[in-house]
Each structure stands twice: as structure tokens, then as C-alpha cells.
Amino acid sequence: MKLLTASTSGASGRGDTRARILDAAERLVQQRGFNGFSYATVAAELGVTKAALHHHFPSKTALGEALITRYSERFAAALEAIDATDPQARAKLAAYVELYARVLREGRMCLCGMLAAEYETLAPPIRQAVLEFLEHNESWLAGVLEQGRADGSMRFSGSAAETADSILGGLEGTMLVARSYGDPVRFEATAARLLAGLTGEQGARS
């Protein structure tokens, strides 16, 4: 389920220029951060003029909003797919962790996690979009945790919402640390311990 990275390889035509711009900008954000690239960077990579970029996205804020919208839609689709294919709470949580692991293996970070790290420097519309992404993930996680608590497959103290907040923060933070070491296995091991703590399966791996 490769939904958190986008590719329009093979696409052609004027209507695809916008998608190509978004693909390039998304990869740059996931690798460098939103402040780590300019329109000139994207234009040079795609072999287009900066004017072409401004035609589709008048400002970098507009580009950022479009990036988050598209990424959030893909992430929401990924969560819907998990709900449809993994009826058990533990399986859902493991599949959720795998979404992050796959992105990290490609040398990238969660788009909104990178933006959250730059939150204070972002324009208000982008800040709001980042918060909405995080809140949607926390809400979904809380639902899975409630399911797990109800069927006895998960144990945790406090509310499901509080635990969901801890899980999301833990995964995003662990991604940053693992990337610093260039070691996706470090993320996988930490995530496995996180799942084991919820399910009581010490040493389990997702």
C-alpha cells in the first residue's frame, strides 16, 4: 500500500504539470523541509520556468496548502483501506506503523511531520492544515485503541485520546531520530516496543 509517496512517472501534457510540481515539492519537503527548497529548486529539477510554477501555484503558501491537501487525502485513503482489510485492532495499529516505516525506508519523512517541525515559520493556512492532519490521525488512532480496549487486545492507562496523542508523537519523533542515524530498523524496533507495550506481547514486531 504505497500511498504516502506520489509519482506521476509517465504522465504528460499540460494538465499533468501541476501534479509533477506537487510530486517534486512533496519529495523536497519530505527530505529537506518546507524551508529547505525554493521555486527555483523545483523549476530546475523539472526543467520548467519559475513562471510556470507561479501559474499553477501563485505563492509558496498555496503550494504548501495543495501539498497537505493531497497528502492528507492519500493518508485518509490509507486509513480507510486499513479499516477495510484489518478488522482486528492490533492489526490496524501494526498497519498504521507500517505506513510510516515504508516512507522512512524510501529516505523520506512524513510530510506533515516535517511541516510540524517547522510550525512556527509556516503561514497560518499551512499551520491549520497541519493541525487538521494531526487531529484526524489522533482521532483514528483513538478509535482503534477504544476497539482494542473493548475486545481485550490492548491495555493502556488514561484515555484513548491521550494514548493516541502519545503514539502519534512517538512515531513522528522516532522517525526523526532514525533518519538522523540513517537507520530505518531503529524506527521499526522502537515501534515494535510501542506496540508490545499496548498488547502485552513483549518483543513482538509489527
33 by Cβ neighbours in 10 Å (0-12 / 13-18 / 19+) ranks as: middle
- φ/ψ (deg, to 5) at 102: -65, -40
The answer as to CATH 1.10.3720.10 being correct for domain 60-199 is no
pLDDT confidence tier of residue 6, bands split at 50, 70 and 90: low
Residue whose C-alpha cell is 524496533: 189
Where in the chain are the domains? Answer: 60-199
Alpha carbon distance 133, 127 (integer Å):
10
Residues 121, 55: Cα–Cα separation, whole Å? 24
Asked whether residue 13 carries a pLDDT value surpassing 60, the answer given is no
Q: What is the pLDDT of residue 206?
A: 37
pTM over 0.95: no
* CB within 8 Å of 65: residues ≥ 6 apart: 125, 126, 129
Q: Which tens digit of pLDDT belongs to each residue from 148-189?
A: 999 999 999 999 999 999 999 999 999 999 999 999 999 999
pLDDT value of residue 1: 45
Distance CA 137, CA 131 (A): 10
Does pLDDT of 2 surpass 90? no
Helical segments of the chain, H only: 14-32, 39-46, 50-56, 60-85, 89-105, 111-117, 124-151, 160-181, 184-199
